[in-house]
Structure 1
Amino acid sequence: MNRRHLLGLTAGALALPALTGARAQSFDRPVRIIVPFAPGGTSDILARLLAPDLTRGFGQNVVVENRTGAGGNIGADVVAKSPPDGHALLLIDVSTLATAPSLYTRLPFDLKRDLAPVTMLIYAPYILAVHPSVPARNAAELVAYAKANPQRVNVGHAGIGVGNHLTGLLVTQHWGADLTQVPYRGGAAALTAVAAGESQMIINGATATAPFCKQGTLRPIAVTGPARLADFPDVPTFQELGWPAADSGTWQGILAQGGTPAPMVNRLAGEIRTAMAVPATAERITALGAVNRVEGPDSFRTWLDNEIEVWGRVVRANNIKLD
């Protein structure tokens, strides 16, 4: 083997990692965003808002698919069992996802092994709202009404064990009131049911709930988060009222399949960060009552690990099991 041949082989070998890295970051077919809830909820609204800009960034069509059921686990499992190449993404309320390991003893995927955090997207506080037929105009009147009418106030929520269900449990236990928790197939279905008077109260993300309150279909009573919402300046926060779960809300994030190469995870995170910064998108997110919380994969994983522990304690304390 002559020197020129040897140098050629060496150069080729050195180029392999670069080629592999470039290939690991490329998109060669449409990208699916799996939303594990019905159309019209916060996750669905956000996915459809981002899809056009991500289509431009990825150079491939981005398609939103709703795969509902099992509190988001059916959609999560679709992504967990997809090829680890960044072409199937899960957009979900990650606080809800974090309850899954505590709720299910036979979960079809391992959250920490089979799903890879890419980036957090937004935080939107919860709005606690009631149907206009409820004779309560403020928090004190609602608590008094709920305590005086045990089991006659139905609380609609997105499914057993999801974030707004657990927040509702903590709050109503704090009230000392006996309310009936009614699970629906996602937040959008719960909103529709409460707006129709089928259930009387809901705790749900501001992104999806605020429009109902602005229309007068629902009456806002209180909000989570660090401050009152600009659209409802007279509605107090949970913290002001001394209620628990004051910092709960809908934390939307995107995850890929576990084992997705780090270069692809970083490419995804970068393109999503760019899409979230588009002025029209940023303005829409603010108008929906949400806050941009984009952050990298590592900090997102740390946050998720903490949520698994925090909400796991709530699930165990209330002895909630779904299998």
Structure 2
Amino acid sequence: MQHPSALRRRVFVAGAAAAVAAPWARAQAWPAKPIRFLVPFAPGGTSEIVARSVAAELTKQLGQSVFVENKPGGAGVTAMQEAAKAPADGYTMILTHVGTLAVNPYMLKNQPYDVNRDFLPVTLLAKVPNVFVIHPDVPAKDFREFVAHVKQNPGKLNYGSAGNASAGHLAMEYLKLVTGMFITHIPYRGTGPQLTDLLAGRTQASSAGMPALGAHIRAGKLRAIAVGTAQRIPVLPEVPTVQEMGHKDFETSQWYGVHVPAGTPADVIKRLQEESYKALRSSAVTERFATDNAVGGGGPSADYAAFIAREQKIWSDIVKRAQIKAD
């Protein structure tokens, strides 16, 4: 007969081994059903292009459908609120960006969630250069002429964006702050809808990413006058940066990442981060991103969290100085 103390030791060792194995087993079992990928904007913009490119690869890798669900409205609050309330089981994730994470907390007085408490970061997916464009009917050939034209006609021109706190809204308000021009913001429910009016000449300017603007610029339907990055971008080598136009340290880009509801198991988050890294380095995604000058991410969750903290510090100051409001 086995001594009781020896039996207790065996039970303890077996229990400890099971505790260590449990997260591994759960991560291996996940996913056992389709995963919903919420996008807080309407179809047709950079956010959806990034989300769908990555979702397609994740579907192949995980053996379960990762389906994109567009849920625009409320400066991203509608989708974020739904994600915050979703079960923390790894089957709901949301595309997060500069607006929902770094601007809304300082622009909106009453959010029904806390972005730093109610969500957990998974990984940064991509950084996309902001491009400033105008309709060809605007009597300005370049950036300086456009700024001069707006200043000669204060309040008479309009710019569209994908909505309040969208990357385009923030970029244009930042530009207004440094140039001193006054142009009215018209928020839409996504990049697609706002581009429809811009291409028709119902609005005169915008800022968005190359994935949404590239074809229209190449077709001559829109005129690129500046980029928000520190250096010129390869696909638009003739278009200057805002810094080159005399606005030192001006830099703005769109960035997109993935968050999940707080409480999602750490091993599932790690698996999702690792699979995202793999997806971002697939030929399908790298080729698409290269076409649009997007820079892929995929790093550890802690790196994304640190990046968000830096962006929150920058944009909280810009929101205050530019008096960015929820129109």
- Normalized against structure 1, the TM-score is what? 0.93
Q: How does 1:19-58 map to 2 (within 5 A)?
A: 19-25=21-27, 26-58=30-62
The amino acid that maps onto 2:293 is: G
CA offset digits 1:107-154 (Å, max 9, x no partner): 111100111111101111111000111111111211121111121211
Find the aligned partners of 1:315 and 1:246 in 2 and give their Cα distance.
Answer: 15
1:309 aligns with 2:325: no
> Bigger shift: 91-100 or 101-110?
91-100
Unmatched tracts of structure 2, length 5 or more: none
Q: Is the Cα–Cα contact under 8 Å of residues 118 and 269 in structure 1 kept in the other structure?
A: yes
Q: 2:168 aligns with which of 164, 167, 171?
A: 164
Match of 2:112 in 1: 108
* Cα displacement (A) at 1:250: 0.6
Change beyond 3 A, Cα 1:237–1:319: closer
Find the aligned partners of 2:12 and 2:174 in 1 and give their Cα distance.
Answer: 63
Q: Is the Cα–Cα contact under 8 Å of residues 47 and 64 in structure 1 kept in the other structure?
A: yes
Find the aligned partners of 1:132 and 1:98 in 2 and give their Cα distance.
Answer: 33
Q: Is the Cα–Cα contact under 8 Å of residues 280 and 297 in structure 2 kept in the other structure?
A: no
* Cα displacement (A) at 1:245: 6.7
> Bigger shift: 271-280 or 305-314?
305-314
Find the aligned partners of 2:138 and 2:223 in 1 and give their Cα distance.
Answer: 9
The amino acid that maps onto 1:220 is: A
Identity %: 35
Q: How many residues align?
A: 323
1:273 aligns with 2:277: yes
Q: Is the Cα–Cα contact under 8 Å of residues 130 and 171 in structure 2 kept in the other structure?
A: no
Q: How does 1:33-182 map to 2 (within 5 A)?
A: 33-182=37-186
* Cα displacement (A) at 1:321: 4.5
Q: Is the Cα–Cα contact under 8 Å of residues 131 and 210 in structure 2 kept in the other structure?
A: yes
- Normalized against structure 2, the TM-score is what? 0.92
Q: Is the Cα–Cα contact under 8 Å of residues 120 and 253 in structure 1 kept in the other structure?
A: yes
CA offset digits 1:6-61 (Å, max 9, x no partner): 45533431232234202442212111111110111111111111222201222211
Q: Is the Cα–Cα contact under 8 Å of residues 277 and 297 in structure 2 kept in the other structure?
A: no
Change beyond 3 A, Cα 1:301–1:96: same
Unmatched tracts of structure 1, length 5 or more: none
The amino acid that maps onto 2:18 is: L
Match of 2:298 in 1: 294
Secondary structure of the corresponding residue to residue 72 of structure 2: coil
